[in-house]
Structure 1
Amino acid sequence: MKFDVQYLSFFVIKVESKEGQTDKSYKHYQTMDGYEYLDSDIKKFLDGEFTRISKRKVEKNPNTEQSPTKIGRFIVEPGHELTSNPNFNMLVRLRTVDDKDDYKNACDDLVRIYLDTSSVRGGALIIVQAALTTHPEDPFIFVLKCDFENKIARISEKNLVREIEMAISARNMKSIQYPYMPEEGLFEEWELKIHQSSHARYFEEFLKFITYEQSIPEIVNEHVMEFVQTYVENKWPDASHEERHQEERELELWAASDKRTLQEKWEPDQVVEAASRIVDIKPEIEIKFKLGDTYIKGFLADYGNKIHLTKLRDGYAVVIEGDAFTFDKSYSPVELLQPESFRSVAERLLQSQNEELHEEDDQ
């Protein structure tokens, strides 16, 4: 996969705080066409970045809520065309321009809009029109942001080191790619790909008319709450029932808690049914929890099949089924174990439980 740069504009953004006020400004350094780019130093800086951005893995439904790479889709009201979206028009203008001065003017407009984002930081903003060598008539727009790096120095014989002002690096480069290319040569004009590893989501603030698919945790949470609401409505059809109000309050507190405990409200078959519907969305959805000091991680699809939760004495136990054990590099005597039968372990645990009950009765 190789790209040919057709136009590139380079801007520097400065953000200064004075007496509680934030002063944001930008300076245009240079706009170049494809021939000028070939002989420029920035070609060495960006070499390979367009391919890296295009090949960066992304899922429409990320596995985490704070995924750095996302697919965005232009928001269009029912009955309206894609051209009614301002973000689409801005990117299409950059994508279709074929004059150096016109390209610079279009980039100027983008930078001014970008500067209005509240969390913008100083750095270099590079806007590139580039096309695959195999598809020269279908260019991409790459918006690249490199924040200024602190404490970057070059070695100097006279001063040992000399600090470099306004230093940038491609290592933590943030990017927008339009259109999104799910596979080489396939273009999705309704979608773009963004990558920003920092917590500041200013690309999302900058592109105000773009929507993003829910992450897997968000989808799971939404479905679980739907199941919970259905459970409450079926158990207490009368919305004015006091027990229903109490249950809803308890479940609301449970849903809002960062560290949740086992609620002991649903039967196992109800949990299996709810889990199966969620697994239909994505089979690889994980289940993670902690029992005592032990962390357990598996697939939600295995609940009720290979992962079993049970009560034992005044606490709980987890039974996990599998074909084989694997251990890490450090040795453990457990690795030499000849396992007992499940029946033997279960009987011993039950016997221990009965002995504790007898001791309590004697007291």
Structure 2
Amino acid sequence: MKFSVKHLSFFVIQVEGKEGQGKNYKHYQTLDGYEYLDSEVKLFLDGEFKRIAKRKVDKNPAVEQAPTKIGRFIVEPGYELDSNPNFNMFARLRAADNKEDYKNACDDLVRGYLDASAVRGGALIVVQADLDNYSEPPFIFVLKCDFEPKIARISDERSLISQVEMAISARNMKSIQYPYMEEEGLVDEWELKIHQSSHAKYFEDFLRFVTYELSIPEIVNEQVLEYVQTFVETKWPDEGGEERQQVEKELELWAASEKRDIQDKWEPEQVYEAAERIIEIKPEIELKFRIGDTLVKGRLADFGDQIHIARLNGRYAVILEGDSFTFDKAFSPVELLQPEPFDRVAERLLEKKQPEEEDDMLPPF
């Protein structure tokens, strides 16, 4: 996969003040393909276009704050793609066939970018590039490099180092690629690919007329809450009923909590049914929880089959099944264990005295 640059515009963004109130930009240079070949920026960007195009991305990311996402232009029902302002911006960049037109189109893009929140100073590079052996209109790459703090270069023997102002690096480069290319030569003009720091919203704030698919955790959350609401409506059909209102309030607090305890509301069959809906969407969805200080990680599909949760003398117990054991890193004497039969362990646990019981047996002072 090889890209050939046709035009490139280089801008520097300056942000002044702690809250970023003062934002401005300076256009440094616009190059055509021949000028790019002899420029220092070619050495800086060598290999980046291929790396961006090949960067793995899922339409439904596995985490909520995924750094790489696929966006799709939003249009009102019955309207065409050219009704979307963000699409028109990229279409103008793709259509420019001389330096002046390309520079003007880039100016419009940079001005729009400065209106976005959380904009930081750095270099913004807008590239129009052809994919070799591909006859469609060119690709557009928008590359953002933040200024690197505390950068120095080796100087002379007396001063040793000298400070470098406005240093940039390709290491943490943010990028937009339009159009998105699912595989070499296969593009969708409705879609683009963005890559940004997982906590940042650089490009999502900038591209206001682009939407992104929900992540897998968000889809799961929606499914669970929808199932919960159906359960409540079925069991308490009276909307104004005091019991229903109390249950809804409890579930609302439960859903908003970052750390949630087991709710003790559904029978196992109801949990299995809700879990099946989620597993149909994502068979490998993870199940993760803590019992006491122990972290348990498995698959939701294994709940009720190889992962079991039970009550034990007023406490909780988790039973895990598997065909083998694997130990990692440091040695442990547990690796030498000859496991007991399950019924013997279960009997011992049922007879086990709880801390409260032991305290009651202590003689008084």
1:14 paired residue number: 14
> In the aligned structure 1, how far is the partner of 2:79 from the partner of 2:164?
50
Query: Which aligned pairs between 1:119-198 and structure 2 lie closer than 5 A?
Result: 119-157=118-156, 158-197=158-197
Q: Deviations over 1:241-261 (max 9, x none)?
A: 211111111111111111100
2:76 paired residue number: 77
Tell me the CA shift for residue 329 of structure 1: 1.7
Do the aligned partners of residues 6 and 342 (structure 1) sit closer, same or farther apart at CA in structure 2, a change above 3 Å counting?
A: same
Tell me the CA shift for residue 138 of structure 1: 3.3
Tell me the CA shift for residue 354 of structure 1: 10
Q: Deviations over 1:123-159 (max 9, x none)?
A: 0000001121121433110000001111000011231
Q: 1:34 corresponds to which letter in structure 2?
A: G
1:241 matched to 2:241? The reply is yes
1:266 matched to 2:266? The reply is yes
Contact 2:66–2:198 (CA under 8 A) maintained in structure 1: no
Q: Deviations over 1:310-344 (max 9, x none)?
A: 11112101111111111112000000011112122
> In the aligned structure 2, how far is the partner of 1:37 from the partner of 1:282?
45
Tell me the CA shift for residue 352 of structure 1: 2.4
> In the aligned structure 2, how far is the partner of 1:198 from the partner of 1:31?
30
Comparing 133-142 and 162-171, the one that deviates more: 133-142
Tell me the CA shift for residue 199 of structure 1: 2.3
> In the aligned structure 1, how far is the partner of 2:37 from the partner of 2:123?
20
2:328 paired residue number: 328
Do the aligned partners of residues 62 and 354 (structure 1) sit closer, same or farther apart at CA in structure 2, a change above 3 Å counting?
A: closer
> In the aligned structure 1, how far is the partner of 2:58 from the partner of 2:187?
16
> In the aligned structure 2, how far is the partner of 1:269 from the partner of 1:150?
56
Q: 1:62 corresponds to which letter in structure 2?
A: P
> In the aligned structure 2, how far is the partner of 1:108 from the partner of 1:359?
76
1:112 paired residue number: 111
Q: Deviations over 1:36-62 (max 9, x none)?
A: 111111011001100111111111111
Comparing 74-83 and 343-352, the one that deviates more: 343-352
Provide the aligned C-alpha RMSD in A: 2.0
Query: Which aligned pairs between 1:1-363 and structure 2 lie closer than 5 A?
Result: 1-17=1-17, 22-157=21-156, 158-197=158-197, 199-352=199-352
Q: Deviations over 1:215-238 (max 9, x none)?
A: 111111111111111111111111
SS of corresponding position for 1:233: helix
TM-score by length of 1: 0.95
Comparing 167-176 and 96-105, the one that deviates more: 96-105
Tell me the CA shift for residue 202 of structure 1: 2.1
Structure 1 residues not aligned, in runs of 5+: none
Do the aligned partners of residues 240 and 137 (structure 1) sit closer, same or farther apart at CA in structure 2, a change above 3 Å counting?
A: closer
Tell me the CA shift for residue 346 of structure 1: 1.3
Tell me the CA shift for residue 356 of structure 1: 8.7
> In the aligned structure 2, how far is the partner of 1:297 from the partner of 1:57?
25
Comparing 27-36 and 193-202, the one that deviates more: 193-202
How many residue pairs match? The answer is 361
Q: 1:124 corresponds to which letter in structure 2?
A: A
> In the aligned structure 2, how far is the partner of 1:140 from the partner of 1:298?
42
SS of corresponding position for 1:121: coil
> In the aligned structure 1, how far is the partner of 2:252 from the partner of 2:130?
51
SS of corresponding position for 1:107: helix
TM-score by length of 2: 0.95
> In the aligned structure 2, how far is the partner of 1:283 from the partner of 1:59?
15
